[in-house]
Amino acid sequence: MNRQKEQTTDTSAQEQTSKRSVSAKSFRTQKDETLEKGKKGSADWYIASRLIAYIKPYKALVAASAGITLAGSILGPLRPYLTKIAIDDYIAHGDMKGLATISLLLAAVVLLDGIKQFIATWLTQIIGQKAVFSIRMDVFRHLQQLPARFFDRNPIGRLLTRTTNDIESLNEMLSSGIITILGDIMQLLFIVGLMLWIDWQLALVVLAILPLMLYATMMFKKRVRIAFQDVRTHLARLNTFLQEHIAGMTIVQLFNHQKSEYTKHSDINADHRDANIRTVFYFSVYYPFIEVLSSLTAGMVIWYSAVRVLNADLTLGVVVSFVQYIWLFFRPLQHLSDRFNVIQTAIASSDRVFRLLEEKGGEGDAGAEPEPFVFRSRITFSNVWFAYDTDNWILKDLSMEVRRGEKIAIVGATGSGKTTIINILSRLYPYAKGSIRIDNVELPDIASRSLRKMIGVVMQDVFLFSGTIRENLAFGNPDLPDEAIFEAARIVGADRFIDQLPGGYAYRVQENGAGLSAGQKQLIAFVRALLYDPQILVLDEATSSVDTETEMLIDAATAKLMQNRTSIIIAHRLSTVQKADRIIVLHKGVIKESGSHQELLKEKGLYYKLYLLQHPEGR
């Protein structure tokens, strides 16, 4: 009967594993097809469609800004036309009254153009800031849902670049890019239309240079985009290097490695500099080329106009207006090239940001707060396999059971898989094969928020956030009353050092608890776990970095913390696990022994050898 039950369990576990594998495979296939479909033909259009989704909620502002910009784009081209009228109709005939009227009209056009620019700039900046706010929130929300494996393979500096520099590039494009480009294009159309209306022959002279300019612009766009992608890549490398080395500066100094690390930084910085210089080169060639073309066009117009003026076939007002139109014609084109700087940077940044958002998320829970999960009976590991890397199995066919209210200790050498058990139980990492059940409910079927509310972990390396002592203590439940926090600190014994800090519980913790000792941070972690009030308490090497006096203080607090709770203790020092109900000995991901302290000593197996290494007097 038992054998049949085990076979049924194994079959069920294999089915669950198969379902997870198929699901993951289907997700990857679907994601790849989506990306291929979205980016097919033009990555620019794909990125634009993603950005438009963030602008849609502000379509009223976009419509107002676009309407004002497009309607006002006629104001600039009107000025040369009014100048032509002033010269040919009023100055040439000595009509001072008409000249005064046209001058007032010209001043009104200039004033309206200034007002238009103010309103359009104000609206586009608001749109950009609102859209970028939404993007930042989506990126941070997504980062919180990504699995731990993602952060293992992505350096912090690279992620910081995505969430700061890259998103800021989007802000520049959304604030001053798209609508401004539309306004410049509309202004070009008005300029061309008015030039053709005034004198189509001179207009053709101006437009003759356009194909060459468009070709130069397309070549410029192609090369500058590649250059800006290189800039963003090298910037991410630079940020990653700086973040790692600032965090690890003490190690660099202790090992006297400043010179070699300076050389590495110099190489990375040089790559970033060279990438920027390439972009500067393209701009330094493109801008003068546009200036030369505009000057050549002006010269051709003046030469051709002079011939026609001498033949009495052209008025002076037309010539003056066309000279003005030439500069107006090339100004929007120069603006467009300026926008290429912003747009190409934003496209490269957008690609990186959206790739981050397309990363497969963890098993985060969407929607309302899930129902709490009450642990009633047991946690069952059945034939569990796990590997951080594909072929390097950390846990191998692991089967064990933890009953409610039981105090379990897991011991073994470094790398045996002790902490890995907690990582997969907390669902930070998905196991590859086998099954984990809590009260006969498969682990993946439990909402992650409910699962992690049920499990409280005290790690060896305590992480503290910038803020007050109180905020760090109540991190899992910020609405706790002060009395509960003070009582928990008193139970653990942390109140002794907290009361001595400047400001007490209002003391501002520096980055990652700098200024506090390892023992003090560990005590804060114990208070935090007590206030979190978990059903399952995990102590992962929680006393390995504290002194003997603090360890004794923690041992007393731990006894109270473990009352009426299922507890899992992971430890190297066997002195901390001797009172456990059951001790599990791991070796290279396999359970070698299981029993109480005395039972394992009598067996004289692996646990006995570990005990003698730490207590040679017991020989």
Is 442 in contact with 436 (CB distance < 8 Å)? Answer: yes
Is 373 in contact with 454 (CB distance < 8 Å)? Answer: yes
Rounded to 5 degrees, φ, ψ at 610 are -65, -40
Q: From CA 395, how far away is CA 276, in angstroms rounded?
A: 48
Same domain, 390 and 288: no
Written as six digits, the tokens of 166 are: 């890259």
Is 212 in contact with 297 (CB distance < 8 Å)? Answer: no
Same domain, 176 and 318: yes
C-alpha distances in Å from residue 338, one per residue of 184, 190, 227, 480: 12, 21, 15, 54
Q: From CA 168, how far away is CA 171, in angstroms rounded?
A: 5
Residue 24: domain span: 1-38
Task: State which of 322, 357, 392 marks the end of a domain.
Answer: 357
Helix (H) or strand (E) holding 379: strand 378-387
For 260-314, the pLDDT digits (tens) are 888 888 999 999 999 888 888 888 888 788 778 878 887 888 888 887 777 777 7
Question: Would 488 be classed as within a structural domain?
Answer: no
Q: Which pLDDT belongs to residue 591?
A: 92
Q: From CA 420, how far away is CA 429, in angstroms rounded?
A: 9
Question: Would 481 be classed as within a structural domain?
Answer: no
Question: Would 507 be classed as within a structural domain?
Answer: no
Q: From CA 401, how far away is CA 381, in angstroms rounded?
A: 6
Same domain, 325 and 346: yes
Same domain, 350 and 412: no
Q: Which of 385, 353, 363, 337 is nearest to 213 (CA)?
A: 337
Same domain, 342 and 382: no
Helix axes 316-357, 178-198, angle to 10 degrees: 160
Written as six digits, the tokens of 323 are: 């000279």
Q: From CA 486, how far away is CA 557, in angstroms rounded?
A: 14
Q: From CA 189, how far away is CA 379, in angstroms rounded?
A: 72
Task: State which of 326, 357, 388 marks the end of a domain.
Answer: 357
Helix (H) or strand (E) holding 407: strand 407-412
Same domain, 253 and 387: no
The segments of the chain whose pLDDT lies below 70 read 1-44, 176-178, 334, 336-338, 340-341, 361-370, 476, 542-551, 554, 557, 617-619
Write out 428-475 in H/E/C secondary structure: CCCCCEEEEEECCEEHHHCCHHHHHHHEEEECCCCCCCCEEHHHHHCC
Same domain, 253 and 295: yes
Question: Would 411 be classed as within a structural domain?
Answer: yes
Ordered alpha helix ranges (H), 146-155: 148-153
Same domain, 287 and 417: no
Is 536 in contact with 458 (CB distance < 8 Å)? Answer: no
Question: Would 362 be classed as within a structural domain?
Answer: no
Q: From CA 318, how far away is CA 92, in angstroms rounded?
A: 12
Q: From CA 408, how far away is CA 121, in angstroms rounded?
A: 65
CATH number at residue 384: 3.40.50.300
Question: Would 144 be classed as within a structural domain?
Answer: yes
As a residue count, the chain comes to: 619
Q: Which residues contact 236 (CB under 8 A, 6 or more apart)?
A: 157, 158, 161, 162, 352
Q: From CA 472, how far away is CA 501, in angstroms rounded?
A: 15
Instruction: Count the helix, strand and coil residues of the chain and give each as a percent rounded to the nearest 5.
Output: 70, 10, 20
Q: From CA 176, how far away is CA 121, in angstroms rounded?
A: 7
Rounded to 5 degrees, φ, ψ at 366 are -95, 155
Same domain, 327 and 420: no
494: helix, strand or coil: coil
Pairing of strands 508-509, 467-468: antiparallel
C-alpha distances in Å from residue 219, one per residue of 281, 284, 292, 306: 13, 14, 17, 35
Q: From CA 353, how far away is CA 411, in angstroms rounded?
A: 42
Work out the number of other CB atoms within 10 angstroms of the CB of residue 341. 16
Rounded to 5 degrees, φ, ψ at 87 are -75, -55
The residue whose two tokens read 């198929």 is 22
Is 474 in contact with 485 (CB distance < 8 Å)? Answer: yes
Helix axes 167-176, 316-357, angle to 10 degrees: 150
Same domain, 286 and 403: no
Q: How many domains does the chain have?
A: 3
Same domain, 22 and 164: no
CATH number at residue 146: 1.20.1560.10
Question: Would 510 be classed as within a structural domain?
Answer: no
Work out the number of other CB atoms within 10 angstroms of the CB of residue 407. 18
Q: From CA 111, how far away is CA 222, in angstroms rounded?
A: 38
Same domain, 436 and 311: no
C-alpha distances in Å from residue 129, one per residue of 58, 318, 556: 11, 44, 53
527: helix, strand or coil: helix
Query: What would you report as the CA-atom Rg of the chain, rounded to the nearest whole angstrom?
Result: 35
Q: Which of 201, 145, 179, 222 is nearest to 72 (CA)?
A: 179
Question: Would 202 be classed as within a structural domain?
Answer: yes
The residue whose two tokens read 């200036």 is 291
Task: State which of 357, 388, 414 marks the end of a domain.
Answer: 357
Pairing of strands 582-587, 590-595: antiparallel
